[in-house]
Structure 1
Amino acid sequence: MDLHQEMEKIGERARSAQRRLQSADSAAKDQALRLMAEFLRRDADNLQRANRKDLRSAEEAGKDAAFIDRLRLDETRIEAMARGLEEIAALPDPVGEITDLRYRPSGIQVGHMRAPLGVIAMIYESRPNVTADAAGLCVKSGNAVILRGGSESLHSNMAIAERLRAALGKSVLPLDLVQYVNTADREAVGVLISMDAHVDVVIPRGGKGLISRIKADATVPVIMHLDGNCHVYVDADADARKALKVVVNAKTQRLGTCNTAESLLIHKDRMEDLLLPIVAALQEKGIEVRACERSLPRLAGAVAATEEDYGTEYLAPIISLKIVDDLDAAIAHINRYGSQHTESILTENYTHARRFLREVDASSVMVNASTRFADGFEYGLGAEIGISTNRLHVRGPVGLEGLTLQKWIVLGDGHIRS
């Protein structure tokens, strides 16, 4: 059987399993998720043994410490995966939820019901925990999932997927709700993202190269974000204490995440009292500041910013800095250079805050809060499968509800249209 035929079979099995899942109730799904958690804990030694193969290959390939850390599975991370599955089981089930039900003049009732997306292809890199997170979220939301992780974590992902499937085998749910594409062949991704007959949605998580390829080549709808060039704007009416702590947290709380601040805007009227303290606090944390021509002469140790810097997601200890004349200039800059991920304003001015919320184009817009809060767990969604900057279907952190759609329902009692 060649690769195309093999992928078609995987797709057919996923579609069949997902349709059979529609008759399962929430209790059956939750029991399956708890079994998955139990099986991961029970087989932690084998999971770590498989992970060591991937770690060895990464070290031999000269991967850096951050890459190897993302790849590593230890007892703590395996326990976190298991707890994550149990937390998903404890969340409300969105499938079948009816909202907005109302009577029409004709006497019929019209409303919405939540339904699964169908079959989801999850394509990801490096982090083995995504295997369990994605499987748990998809099963709970009534979807089947086809998992395709990066070649660098192949052994780890396969071992986790085997345990998840073993747990499904002990449940009343179909085994093929969770399938793993166990090949490092890059062509498998190309086939998967063009299987319109069997796959309803593709969700990629990884580097810019992976996301760009899927965006360009997929014929199946994609839920994704390409970059995380997040801004913090210090308004003329910002509280100095709040501004200092929020800017530092947004940039330094965890480097290398998509919701880390990469660009700092400061109103010209706050150059005298806030520019130096904020930059000094960032530099004390090891952050390189790439400053505009208005701020550079005042800053020791800063580097001149280029046009390219303003649109760059660094994922590194670097931040761009620009002085702006007013709120209009800040909003214009963000809408030009931002990636529609997460943007924050620091201000005590209610009118400015409302304008920023209304006029900034992003999936998350914040007032007096760190961009690091752009996260499914922090939003009360439980786990998230990713963050979307799409304009259609779902935007922002994608949790259980984001993996469902709305269908119209009509309730009548023999009603006919006159």
Structure 2
Amino acid sequence: MADRRPTFFSFFVALCFIVFSNVALVTSKSTIEPCSNSDSCNALLGYTLYTDLKVAEVASLFQVDPIAVLTANAIDISYPDVENHILPSRLFLKIPIQCSCVDGIRKSVSTKYKTRPQDTLSSIADSIYAGLVSADQIREANSIDDPSVLDVGENLVVPLPCTCFNGTDNGLPAIYLSYVVKPVDTLAGIAASYSTTITDLMNVNAMGTTTIKGGDILAVPLSACASNFPNYASDYGLIVPNGSYAITASHCVQCSCGPGSRNLYCMPSSLAVSCSSMQCRSSNLKLGNVTLQQSSAGCNVTSCAYSGYANGSIITSLLSSLQPRCPGPQQFPPLVAPPTYVLDSAFAPAPSPQSDGSTTVPKTSTVPSTGSLPGFSPAGAPLGSMSDASTLVNSVSSLPAALMTCLLIKLTYPLL
């Protein structure tokens, strides 16, 4: 027996080391949407500024149009030199991105980051990109062998989480926000802040429980107004979240999705300078104009609508319809001034008033390409899963199992 003790002891130590090291390596979770084609969609990232930054600097971090950052947050772009306006640290913003299909899952890989002195993969992931990506994801995306050595000025691909789910939620137009859960957040608070339900959030993220923890990344569906532009238009597939607006057609056209509306309304933007004609053919109406004529049969409505941007030209369409009653004036999303300080409720979700603020680890699930198994989203829900950012499948909830495994071995071999 004396000769066998070192063997059993070594096995015991090795097994416990493997189990506990797998538990320790867990990182934050994000919703994974499997895909099998090369199309893309508009998506949003929930981003918290790590320091004071100009609007242009924020846009540069994600390689997006500064104006798009402002309009996604319903910030008034008419302020002088608004692109150089300094936004305060800890401000929460929605960043518009293109969500692509890469290696069979939805993600955005168009963001590049140039390393600076003192940068580490962890500081880039946790601080600069506010937990939207993990250090392991950056390491894997750039095939970095030694993460402790980063060359200054190196361009790193930053893979960012995003989802499309066919641009719909429960059959209605939607755009999805990737939201990093804060320690004080509750699922009820997030649902209330984004005008959705706990059930919808659970279905979208394939959650088995309502509990969440700081660092989780949730896909949050935002109701939106969808365009119906032809596929040859450069802004084909444009979708604008409710209560927001977008600038398109080379900054010539402004399209908005007013509060409580599902109708995309477009008109000349305040930035329009050198733009092609915005007048509808065979009509005196220009883009955004609407005429109403009451009749015994109802209300005759004629409008000059925007139909996309192609080959440098703005496409307009003259639309006529008979409606039971004349529509009211178009509602526009309320615009806010460029923020100079952070309000507690500025753009960001808050905990539910009914919650005590406690958080635990959500259950995880794996989504197959076809079929339905226990633990997956209900039928008809978007196909997604809560998955570890570093591709590990263990969670902190496996800690009791690890303890039980080691205890069982100890009891089986009491002489160890």
TM-score range, shorter chain: under 0.3
Structure ID, larger Rg: 2
Task: Kindly indicate which of the two structures has a greater share of residues assigned to helix.
Answer: 1
Return the TM-score normalized by structure 2: 0.26
| Greater RCO, CA 8 A, separation 6+ | 2
Return the TM-score normalized by structure 1: 0.26
